[in-house]
Structure 1
Amino acid sequence: MDAIQQHMLDSYRTARRGETAPPLPGRYDRETVRTIREYRRTHRATPHTAWYTRLTRLPRLPRRGSPRGAATR
């Protein structure tokens, strides 16, 4: 089912119930894209949180299957 068919079905249901019709498909696309861009732009500028910094400073664990000190071929 595409967006137009879903909108027609939703409009039919709301008309039967006496509610307001849903917005047309694509009506708020520009606003949504603008909001997402703004969110990414503002959150990209913020530094990493303290938990992320602590997480990256943890000691590295050896890989499975290659014990420490084993000779590599």
Structure 2
Amino acid sequence: MGRNVQTIWARRFNNEKSSYSGNFKASVIEYMHDKKLSLFQTAIHFGIPSDSTLIVWKRIYYEEAWKNVNRVDRKSEIKF
């Protein structure tokens, strides 16, 4: 059993919670898509304790991408 798999099982057993940035979540989903990996393979690669976490990230990623595709760009209304 590889080190990442052991780490994942230890986190599941100990119920350790992790916090991930939005950029990290997006990069994980993009990596999974680019490399054509399964949710489980991606979770192991990144040391994420549960592949079900990636299901949520993937759903949000594609929902947000779809919203941005349909969004009208109104630069005059953007406030910094």
Q: TM-score normalised by the shorter chain: which range applies?
A: 0.3 to 0.5
- Bigger Cα Rg: 1
TM superposition score normalised by structure 1: 0.40
The one of the two structures with greater contact order (alpha-carbon pairs below 8 A, sep at least 6) is 2
Q: Which has the higher helix share?
A: 2
